[in-house]
Chain A
Amino acid sequence: MTTETVGSVEASASGPTSTGSRATMILGIVTLVALGVLVLFGLILSPADESQGDSVRIMYVHVPSATLSYVGCFLTAIGSAVYLWRKSQWWELVAYAGAEVAALFTAFTLITGMLWGRPTWGVYWVWDARLTSEALLMLLLLGYLAVRRLAADYEVRAKRAAIIGLLLVPNVIIVRQSVQWWRTLHQTPTISLSGAEIQGLMLFSLFTGFVAITLVFIWMVIHRFRVAWLEEQLEAEGLDTAIAERRAEGVIS
């Protein structure tokens, strides 16, 4: 009798009701196919580099994930801004999902970078501009996630995290600039606007890498968002149920 007052249906009408859907299932399949194509081109069809040998193949996942770690930060900043402006929980959760996936991609970039650096430079880590700013980006994201996961009311942690999320972009720009001035050893960007340095099959493999890793990124953000959304709904629903139960008790006595 009291279950009708639980407004779970209307609450979740504006968001996902499960972690899967037909569209994302197709997206998932496409992503897997793209990863297969990437493996084919990256590991088998593309030639080894003249100077770096086979280790150059790490580039096909390293460069796209580095780019997407920055995309994730932008997503977090945009989501945080809209949340602060409109108080939209949907966007807040987009920011959260973006930050978590960005942290994952940053970690992946750092690990693949170190594995690539060892055979190329002879060491796992050098204090060059891009490595250092990526490491700082990781720490900034961990700070955001630490605040977002505080044991506090949703409003409190969401608002505080959103301020940090909003500052991620200016932070990243200043950090990059400062570290760039501080030191620059890294090779210049592989692809520049004036024309690519790598050509042919290697360039195509890198392109495949961008497509596949971007699909992985999108798939992850969507699913992380859905899980976060359902978690928040569950919490709200639990509260609604508890209130309804208390009311029912009052009616009986």
Chain B
Amino acid sequence: MRRRLSIVLTLLTVMMLGVIVTGLSFGEPGAAPMDDYFIENSQSESGANNVVTAVLFDYRGLDTLGEAAVLFTAALGTTLIFRRRRDD
């Protein structure tokens, strides 16, 4: 019963995603002005040849700070799970 419900749920999700995806066009992004600005001005504004790095560390730096914090928290949590307990 549960197995059949899981299969139906998976098929429904896949169909929903498929309906959403057919509205998108491949090869011609719908909203590009922000990226065009980054590509045109990243060399003159941040001096980096690699536009992805310029976006990652300059334009959207706070994003990267949060990402580094997530990695730090994951390491902290993993260490806490395997800490040496005093009672055993």
Do A and B belong to a common assembly?
A: no
Residues of B within 8 A of A (CB): none
Residues of A within 8 A of B (CB): none
